[in-house]
Structure 1
Amino acid sequence: MDSAHRKTNKSEQKSRKFLKSLIRKQPRDLLLMIGTGVSAAVAPGIPALRSWRSCIEAVIEAADQLEVLHPGDVAEFRKKVIKDRDLLVVAHDLIRKMSPRTGDAKPNFFQDCLMEVFDNLEQHIQNPVVLQSILRLMERGTMVLTTNYDNLLEIFGQQQGKPMESLDLKDKDKVLQWAKGHIRYGVLHIHGLYTDPCGMVLDPSGYKDVTQDPEVMEVLQNLYRTKSFLFLGCGETLCDQIFQALFLYTVKNKVDLEHYMLVLKENEDQFFKLQADMLLHGIKVVSYGDSFESFPEYVEDLTTQICKQKSPDAEQVDSTTLLGTSCVDCAKRRLGDSGKDHPKRARLPDNGMQTDGIVKPK
């Protein structure tokens, strides 16, 4: 075997290493945070799914093609997308430009542009591996929320016969049910969904509106305290204003939490700096490889490892197992090797505790 081949195999083996603290999590103890990287992997033919910037660029292009914006405005917005760092402001101005001058967002041409951008999503699903992995985890109790505007996961899940449901923060009752684990196949879109443009969070006032309900804020923040978030395809999620408002800057003692983020390792120095920085937020950064093409397979393998874990509720353990074989052997030695006497069956304490101090699953 030549050195180049050995190096490749070593790299592949290294990329398949998983943190024990992650793969030993029960699926029900995880919450998947899905970003644009998932949609980009699933439907690479739709540029708008690749990033927030790409989405705005696609809307501007659709507005130009549909002739719902003056050519001068189209040119101006294209410049803003390239130059402006605050894309939220650009999106706000773009929406207002295509809306009536009454302060009301309905009706507007923005919705038509979104429908053009995300038209026939189901026909663009090319690589469903990541979606299949997510559904496997959802079947076992993993919750899912996303910053994405698309419903690719719901579309694919329905194709597999799952009762998928799209939720947004403005439907309080549904959010509370979801947070309690009562909607197994619910996907919470914290920015809203493209099919309901009026519920999309695209401007500063929208961010303020969805964080004003203390009950919703409390249940969501409790999830951040009690679940392990697994960030998939979330390149800039931690910079997102609504994510910061809901979780990052409102939950105390974050360093005591244990969340995980899968990232592309393009530059080693930047990667290890990100690792160190994110530990301060209770987030363990893990590399899925140095190529985006590695992402789907890594997620699939990771899901397989997690799903191997047996649920404590499903384990039926008898008293022999609780004592362990070494204890049984000791009992036999104490009684002698005659085989005439038999050790008495050990009794468990009345409080349901094992003799070794481990709580017996109820």
Structure 2
Amino acid sequence: MFFASDNAGPVHPQVMQALVDANHGYAMPYGADPWMEEVRTRLRDIFEAPDAAIYLIATGTGANALALATLCDPFQTVFCSEVAHIHEDECNAPEFYTGGAKLTLIRSGDKITPEALEAAILKEGSRGVHGPQRGPVALTQVTERGSVYTVTELTALASIAKSYDLPVHLDGARFANALVTLNASPADMTWRAGVDAVSFGGTKNGLMGVEAVIFFDPSKAWEFELRRKRGAHLFSKHRYLSAQMAGYLKDDLWLTLARQANETCAYLADGLRAAGADFLYPPQANMIFASLSRAVHKRLHEAGAVYYLWSGELDGADPDEPLTARFVCDWSLTRDEVDKFLSHTN
């Protein structure tokens, strides 16, 4: 009954086998291995972007920070949601890797709205040399509260960014989960919508530890390569990153795993709804924010359920007080485990 994070789930056997298969003999280092060429070809096909520049990074923070650094000058600001991962959970890595660029937080809740984005852009860049200059717009898909931007919403936000000549970065740590929800194509959810660069996540969806950074404008490639090396994120034994990603993409495993996680999450949401839970946001992918009474939370924890409370304390006086919690489903979570969990909510 583990719902704390999709980072905690196991590596899929197909990915593990790909690593075993790659662990023979010698292979050129630093991304010159044959598996990396396979990954480039496959991702270019998936995104319908034959000229895209594609690189692998072992961590999501590294992927986001290095991508943003390539799109942002030190004297600029990155426009992002107030609950964006780059703000809440990356220990100022974007500021560090950009050489000091700030983050401008857009306070419009879980999703950035076009009106809020334009207001934030207009507010910055208005003080000449004395203030931060306008820089990239950073979007998160799936958002940190479990919501999914539609293609129309992404296009509207990117259109505003482009009207001010600003690039757009998409943090796609849960890219596959969003894509399954929308039943869209990767191209429609990225470059056709106006996205310039994407962090294509894998670690939360069955990989040991790999994210792809994709630039649809290949002119950014050399700068990113230099930043990756200077930032100590260029693996020497790179084949072990490449093999993971190759195994992930083979036979569309990445979509299969995301679909499993989303379907399990929908099943959990139905069960929580039947138990009287209130949802902070409508469940759309593989993450739920729901309120249950303190008494129910205590029963769940005593039964061994693992998840994070988002508000309130477990040790409180009022057993009926509603406490919000986050529940995340990974690809390996079974319905039997969900049923066991739900049995303690009534």
Tell me if both proteins adopt one fold, taking TM over 0.5 as the criterion: no
Q: Which has the larger radius of gyration?
A: 1
Point out the structure with the larger helix share: 1
When the two structures are superposed, what TM-score results if normalisation uses the length of structure 1?
0.28
